[in-house]
Amino acid sequence: MGALISAPLIALGTAVAVPSAGAAGIAGAPHHSAVRTGLSAGNPFCKRLAHRRVLASAAAYSFCFGPQIHVHASGGTPAVKTRSGLANNVDAASLSEDVSPAGVRADGQSETSVAASGPYVVEAWNDSTSFLSACPAQMSKEEGTGFAFSSNGGKTFADLGGLPNSNCKNYIYEGDPSVSAYVAGGKTFFYISSLYDSTTGIGRSFIAMDACEVTGAGGSAALSCGQPVMVGASTQCQRFKISKTKFSEFCSFTDKDYMSIDPANGRLYVSYSDFLLRSTNGGDVEVMSVCDLGTRSGGTGPAGGTPAAPVCEHGTKLVLIAKNFLQASPYFTVAAPDPNGCELEGSYPAADIATGNVYVGYEYNWGTNLGFAPCEGSGTPIQDVLAMSPFTCLPLAAVSPCAGPAARASVPVVSLDGTFVPGYNRFPTNDFPRLAVSDKFGTVSMVWNDTRFHAFGDILLQSFGLNSLQPVQSKPVLLDRPHNGGLDMFPAVRSANLDGLLDVSWYSRTSVTTADTSVLAAIGINPRSTATPANIQVTNVLSNWDNDSSLIVPNFGDYTDNAVSVTGTWPYVGSTLYVAWSDGRLGIPQPFEAHLPAG
């Protein structure tokens, strides 16, 4: 059945054993240094994406279609407009790194994620330099996930290029990064996950991560990253013959990964979507994997993992179940394909360190809410769904013993998806939820953007009781101050601070008649509150999204991020909040960072 059937787990510092599927003779447009796009290779997921039967992430669009040009809604140079905000807005990337080995400048970084511990900060992003760089490029510029390291609390960053990947001839990081930090045995580790797909557009689809360790100290501290570790994999493949003796596969496509760490138990969880080749409706499934990070002392854990070399469980091997059709079981199914064909996307995990339970939120009926078959006519409203899975269902084994979550809750969403956002070069947007657990207040909270009050969106919060998932408030809480018909979207929240309070940040505009965009935040929110909190300005310069050059769709991503710094002792959080977003003040979207006291 070939090596793609059972790609092994990869330890830190070893080569990635995921061979090329072999796409000889398939013509197509250039992608990642003249590599074929998924669409030109005939990938069935890419065909569905091209015909808008499904919608997916920026990284999925990169895999399927290659670079996309942002056509300006209006000409001219970006208008740099200063305003009151945090003074410490920092560009984590370097414009000098955004140049291919041949000397071509690449425009655009988006989809930012951030994590921190003490003075150490890592930010990652989708990097358009990968479109123009051949493998192997210096600084791994061919990789679609770029990242940077700070040893002084985010005051300055060293742009480290792309994630290390010695197998870039065959598989490449496509982007959509998630970053998490972990402290064990007196050492600091960072994990950066992204989509990881074949350069030929065929073969199995993966979610992978690099495990990185901080070495040295003070001004000489550096970040040392290993090779890709597989943390998720497509669960279906259709074999086809490419010669008399050779076979390859088109496989289900894994998308939209995000991570959460349970430091009390030394576990890392990643949730993501798997767009199936075959199901009752050809839909997608939301799944989750688990990684063993070792014991709290930094030694080897029950599954053999260590913080520097995690061991990840992501389901069974592919087996032949019908003629030329292979199938595997995921580690844990958060949500099965919808019987009406409605798309599920944007899953986001949050671990409860007190109990080990894991919560996952996702949007139900995203994309298909625009009237696309087969979901159209089902009459099912758009919802953001919250699912709880107990720790007993999440052992370090190939497959969970549980059929699914133990409890679910949902909130109706009046979606922003049908709204064209000026200067944003993708339609639609999304209403993906973000989660945070507060053990002090006994809640898990979900935030999302919603248009029930204003046509261009507000940021809403709904908290639920832990385990029971009963709503704490009678209705969602409005987090943004009245904006006179402006726009608010893409909220971020990760964890509660030391006092159990939440810090939420998001993109904001004061008016829909302009593309000038800022980042706002509500700091120190009691998750049980029913009152609209005060907002602060994170950005000190506006971004004019109309006048920014980018090769990436969407040009400013479809999520932002923030994270409270982490520690190595209970309750494992520090006192600083880090905010990450894609910022256009330079005329090219760049990954910015700001920090302030949490809560």
φ/ψ of 51, rounded to 5, equals -95, 10
C-alpha distances out from residue 444 to 183, 461, 502, 539, 583, Å: 24, 11, 10, 28, 30
Q: What is the pLDDT of residue 66?
A: 85
Q: What is the pLDDT of residues 11-58, one digit of tens each?
A: 333 333 333 333 333 233 334 444 468 888 889 888 888 877 788 888
Query: With the C-alpha atoms ordered 149, 91, 539, 155, is the resulting torsion angle positive or negative?
Result: positive
Contacts of residue 164, defined as CB under 8 A and 6 or more positions apart, other chains included, come to 140, 210, 225, 226, 227
Q: What is the pLDDT of residue 16?
A: 30
Confidence of residue 280 (pLDDT cuts 50, 70, 90): low
φ/ψ of 584, rounded to 5, equals -110, 20
Residue 193 contacts residue 115 (beta carbons within 8 Å): no
Residue 144 contacts residue 173 (beta carbons within 8 Å): yes
Which tokens belong to 506? 């998001």
Which tokens belong to 329? 């079981």
Cα 475 from Cα 168, distance rounded (Å): 49
For the beta sheet containing 590-597, the strands, ordered from the edge strand earlier in sequence to the opposite edge, are: 90-91, 590-597, 573-583, 561-566
Q: What is the pLDDT of residue 285?
A: 92
Amino acid at 583: D
Confidence of residue 186 (pLDDT cuts 50, 70, 90): very high
DSSP character string of 497-514: -TTS-EEEEEEEES-TT-
Q: Let me know how long the chain is.
A: 599
Q: What is the mean pLDDT of the chain?
A: 89
Cβ atoms < 10 Å from Cβ of 78: 21
Q: What is the pLDDT of residues 309-333, one digit of tens each?
A: 999 999 999 999 999 999 999 999 9
Three-state SS sequence of 140-165: HCCCCEEEEEECCCCCCCEEEEECCC
Higher pLDDT residue, 246 or 73?
246
315: left (phi over 0), alpha (psi -120 to 50) or beta: left
Q: What is the pLDDT of residue 6?
A: 30
Q: Which of these, 90, 148, 111, lies nearest to 490 by C-alpha position?
A: 111
Residue 125 contacts residue 111 (beta carbons within 8 Å): yes
Q: What is the pLDDT of residue 377?
A: 63
Q: Which of these, 158, 160, 139, 142, lies nearest to 91 by C-alpha position?
A: 158
Cβ atoms < 10 Å from Cβ of 396: 18
Q: Which of these, 207, 214, 122, lies nearest to 565 by C-alpha position?
A: 122
Residue 50 belongs to what H/E stretch?
helix 44-50
Three-state SS sequence of 514-564: CCEEEEEEEEEECCCCCCCCCCEECCCECEEHHHCCCCCCCCCCCCCEEEE
Higher pLDDT residue, 420 or 72?
420
Q: What is the pLDDT of residue 72?
A: 52
Q: What is the pLDDT of residue 3?
A: 32
Confidence of residue 490 (pLDDT cuts 50, 70, 90): very high
Domains of the chain: which residue ranges?
A: 3-597
Q: Which of 68-82, 285-299, 495-509 has the highest mean pLDDT?
A: 495-509
Q: What is the pLDDT of residues 195-241, one digit of tens each?
A: 999 999 999 999 999 999 999 998 899 999 999 999 999 999 999 88
Cβ atoms < 10 Å from Cβ of 69: 14
Q: What is the pLDDT of residues 330-381, one digit of tens each?
A: 999 999 999 888 999 999 999 999 999 999 999 999 988 887 666 766 678 8
Higher pLDDT residue, 60 or 497?
497
Residue 69 pLDDT more than 70? no
Give the up-direction half-sphere exposure of residue 587: CA atoms within 13 A in the CB hemisphere.
Answer: 8
Which SS3 state, helix, strand or coil, does residue 45 take?
A: helix
With b for 16 or more beta-carbon neighbours within 10 A and e for fewer, the 329-354 pattern comes to bbbbbbbbbbebbbbbbbbbbbbbbe
Cα 462 from Cα 527, distance rounded (Å): 8
Q: Which of these, 478, 475, 466, 596, lies nearest to 537 by C-alpha position?
A: 596
Three-state SS sequence of 105-124: ECCCEEEEEEEEECCEEEEE
Q: What is the pLDDT of residue 1?
A: 32
Average pLDDT in the 505-517 region?
93
Q: Which of these, 398, 383, 267, lies nearest to 329 by C-alpha position?
A: 398
Which tokens belong to 161? 């290029």
Cβ atoms < 10 Å from Cβ of 37: 22
Give the up-direction half-sphere exposure of residue 468: CA atoms within 13 A in the CB hemisphere.
Answer: 8
Q: What is the pLDDT of residues 389-401, one digit of tens each?
A: 999 999 999 999 9
Cα 111 from Cα 433, distance rounded (Å): 15
